[in-house]
């Protein structure tokens, strides 16, 4: 099987770069649609539309709310069917980005991603995560190409709550953990091909950057300061993690994350990366990693105020029914648990969650 590495055509990052972004967008087309949510529209969306319009672009808008579901994708497609659009601009967080990629792919339009947080590695990938209307994970949807352009304005990112940066750090740290598991299995990346050495190298560089600069960047974010550490972490969360997960592969941490979509409660209010922090720890337990490795991640996640116990997720570790639901959803055909270098059963997953809780309670660090 051949190896495959893919990436967006162009990635731009810097403080205030949205104010100089029309020159990149107009290379792709003149008629654009800004897709965003109500909060981002009020914060920067309207001003950004005016900026593009003043620059000579023809700009339409669509304000989205809800899940990234097939129903919502089709509804949005109907709403823009009679508009002559050349470029879709997704301005916002992970759900808006995933929806924008779906719409652009189905209409064969150019795709621009303008993330407003560094909480996810979705901006660079050719994938959307689809959910059922009730919020349960449904499937990954794959597109023939990555976004044409990703623009990351760190002046915008730094004004988002530091909690979102912490979630992105957790998501970024899962990248190397999962990519190493895929490599050990001689498995496939998200694209169904063999991972390249480049993908693993990027994933491990992402890990190095986050452990080195993550805490400083977290504090800089709280103080609304764009520093070298903050720039480095934003790049790791967005570009390095995005390239690393897609071309390097996913394993247990993301499958377990999807497993949590099978239950209701506090966990549904947590961000993707916050849940990934916990499920990364579970993967390390399932791999029987040395105690010092587990402690390294545990201490770091605690310093970032990320959840490390079932209780923090609103889950009773003794609730057999809910743990079984999580495990069963994690084992869904087509999800990434199959990329682990050993076979896991429902019982293994339940036991791994309980082992992690016991370890965290007994850990004095």
- 233-263 b/e with 16+ CB inside 10 Å = b? bbbbbbbbbbbbbbbbbbbbbbbbbbbbbbb
Query: Is residue 254 flagged as an active site residue?
Result: yes
Please name the residues in contact with 18: beta carbons below 8 A apart, sequence gap of 6 or more: 44, 48, 51, 114, 151, 153, 155, 156
Distance CA 50, CA 53 (A): 5
25 contacts 89 by C-beta, under 8 angstroms:
yes
88 contacts 33 by C-beta, under 8 angstroms:
yes
Query: Is residue 316 flagged as an active site residue?
Result: no
Query: Is residue 186 flagged as an active site residue?
Result: no
214 contacts 146 by C-beta, under 8 angstroms:
no
State the catalytic residue, choosing from 153, 257, 335, 357.
Answer: 257
Note the helical H segments in the chain: 22-25, 38-40, 46-54, 70-80, 94-107, 154-157, 162-185, 197-222, 228-235, 241-248, 252-259, 272-286, 291-303, 320-330, 346-362
Query: Is residue 335 flagged as an active site residue?
Result: no
State the catalytic residue, choosing from 37, 254, 335, 357.
Answer: 254
State the catalytic residue, choosing from 171, 220, 335, 357.
Answer: 171
State the catalytic residue, choosing from 37, 272, 335, 357.
Answer: 272
Q: Of 39, 33, 28, 89, whose CA–CA distance to 58 is shortest?
A: 33
**Residues carrying an active site annotation:** 171, 254, 257, 272
């Amino acid at each position: 099987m051949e190896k495959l590495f893919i990436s967006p055509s162009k990635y731009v990052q810097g403080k205030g770069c949205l104010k100089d972004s029309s020159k990149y967008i107009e290379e792709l087309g003149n008629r654009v649609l800004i897709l965003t949510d109500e909060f981002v529209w009020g914060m920067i969306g309207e001003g950004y539309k005016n900026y593009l319009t003043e620059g000579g672009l023809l700009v339409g808008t669509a304000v989205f709310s809800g899940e990234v579901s097939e129903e919502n994708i089709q509804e949005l497609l109907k709403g823009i069917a009679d508009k002559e659009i050349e470029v879709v601009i997704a301005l916002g967080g992970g759900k808006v980005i995933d929806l924008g990629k779906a719409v652009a792919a189905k209409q064969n339009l150019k795709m621009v991603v303008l993330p407003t947080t560094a909480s996810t590695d979705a901006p660079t990938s050719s994938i959307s995560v689809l959910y059922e209307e009730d919020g349960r994970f449904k499937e990954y949807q794959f597109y023939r190409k990555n976004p044409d352009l990703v623009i990351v304005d760190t002046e915008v990112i730094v004004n988002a709550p530091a909690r979102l940066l912490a979630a992105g750090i957790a998501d970024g740290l899962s990248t190397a953990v999962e990519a190493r598991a895929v490599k050990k299995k001689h498995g496939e990346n998200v694209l169904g091909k063999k991972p390249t050495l480049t993908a693993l190298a990027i994933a491990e560089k992402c890990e190095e950057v986050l452990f080195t600069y993550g805490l400083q960047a977290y504090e800089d974010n709280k103080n609304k300061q764009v520093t070298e550490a903050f720039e480095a972490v934003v790049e790791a969360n967005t570009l390095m993690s995005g390239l690393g997960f897609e071309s390097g592969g996913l394993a247990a941490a993301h499958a377990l994350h999807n497993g949590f979509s099978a239950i209701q409660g506090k966990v549904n209010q947590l961000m993707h990366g916050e849940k990934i922090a916990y499920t990364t720890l579970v993967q390390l337990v399932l791999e029987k990693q040395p105690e010092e490795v587990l402690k390294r991640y545990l201490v770091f996640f605690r310093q970032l105020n990320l959840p490390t116990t079932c209780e923090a997720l609103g889950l009773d570790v003794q609730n057999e029914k809910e743990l079984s639901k999580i495990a069963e959803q994690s084992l869904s055909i087509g999800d990434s648990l199959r990329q682990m270098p050993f076979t896991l059963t429902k019982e293994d997953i339940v036991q791994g969650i309980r082992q992690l809780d016991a370890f965290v309670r007994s850990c004095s660090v």
